[in-house]
Amino acid sequence: MKSPSTMEEYTYTPEAPPATSVTCSHCGSPHVEHGHASALCPECRQAFINYPIPRWLWIFAGVVAMVLVINLLKLPASIKLAGHLIRAERAVDEHNFLTAQHEADSVLTAFPEHFEAHCYHLIASAYNFDYDAYDRSISFLGEKTYIKEGLVVSCNAATDYLNRHFCEDTLLLAQLDLITAQPPREQLRFIDSLAGSKQTHAVLAYCGARIGSYLLEHEQLPESRAILEKTLDANPDHYFASIDYATVLRKMNELEKADSVCDILLERNHQDSYAMSAKSRVVLRKKQLPAAEELAMEAVRLDPLSSHALASLALVLEAKGQKADSRQLLQAVVKLSAEREDTASAPQLRRVLDGETVYQ
């Protein structure tokens, strides 16, 4: 009999895990290693340790990463171009057509076939009378069969506006050259004959603007005014007739009416350098030198190569007594007038600066 104080030696033998139906999730073997989260046999577990991810998956991930990196690199430029497009749309809505054309140009430089950018470019260039730019966009859009509904009305309106300033009747144009050499009474009769014929308002306005401008250039103010008023009756939106009409009114000392005509033009296009320059001359006649200078400076900022805007600024500086500065601007006007075939701005400005004529 053993003593109670004597303990028997005891050896622990782990029990085998209970039999289950779990098999290797990869190959289906019943010999699964227990004690792991994943049910795998020893062979599969070792294989996954050596090759944890298939090689084709690594290649696919590399391609995806490369595409992602390329797109991330392009993202700042895409965001910038989207900003240009948004600003072009906003500028069109606000009638800031110089800005709109510039912003649309920025988009088209990177994406020459961007549809919306061409639409904004067409609208802006039409109201800016930039014929080359307009032709580029209308050529592109004319080949498209689909236009966004929100833009089609604006594009058509801009195209109609520009077309109302042209005449393609070659026989009438040849006749017009002869009429401009006739006495004003014959010129008025010619305009009246167009109004009574089947000619469109656009043709009548084109001829009237041409004759009115000719009479203005020769200082036949009452006759020019009569022609221009008939022209604007036929086409109230005619830009060139409106500009000359404002000049005639200014020279005839109807300053408030001239100012109103300039305001109508600037309402149509807030960044119209020529209309702003014309308004500066009207305000100068009103003896409002600070306002006249501000308008002339803004006109020059919008179009630094405008001989009309530079001449307006020279007139303001001359009125302020800054004769050296006005003379310097005269030289710039002479150079630009020669380049742009402007036969009126430089001689008129020189006569005023030399004291040969009183500014009207």
Based on the fold, state whether residues 240 and 292 are members of the same structural domain: no
**Structural domain harbouring 116:** 82-163
- Domain final position from 163, 179, 210: 163
pLDDT tens digits along 211-229: 999 999 889 999 999 999 9
Residue 212 located in a structural domain: yes
- How would you write the pLDDT of the chain (360 residues) with one tens digit per residue? 444 554 455 555 555 555 556 788 778 778 788 777 778 888 888 777 655 566 677 677 777 778 776 666 555 556 678 888 999 999 999 999 999 999 999 999 988 888 899 999 999 999 999 999 999 999 888 766 566 677 888 898 999 999 888 887 788 888 888 888 888 888 888 888 887 666 677 888 888 999 999 999 889 999 999 999 999 988 899 999 999 999 999 999 999 999 999 999 999 999 999 999 999 999 999 999 999 999 999 999 999 999 999 999 999 999 999 999 999 999 999 988 888 777 778 888 888 888 888 887
Q: Is residue 7 part of a domain?
A: no
Residue 258 lies in a domain: no
**Tens digits of residue pLDDT in 137-158:** 998 887 665 666 778 888 989 9
Q: Residue 60, CB half-sphere, CA atoms under 13 Å: how many? A: 5
Q: Is residue 34 part of a domain?
A: no
Cα separation, 350 vs 1, in Å, equals 144
DSSP conformation class of 15:
P
Which of 184, 219, 252 is the endpoint of a domain? 252
Within 10 A of 310 (CB to CB), how many other CB atoms are there? 27
Q: Which amino acid is at 58?
A: W
> Taking a C-beta distance cutoff of 8 angstroms, is the pair 190, 223 a contact?
no
The alpha carbon of 169 is separated from its chain's Cα centroid by a whole number of angstroms, namely 31
Q: Rounded to two decimals, what is the model's pTM?
A: 0.77
User: What is the tally of structural domains in the chain?
Assistant: 3
Q: CB-based contacts of 129: which residues, under 8 Å, 6+ apart?
A: 162, 165, 239
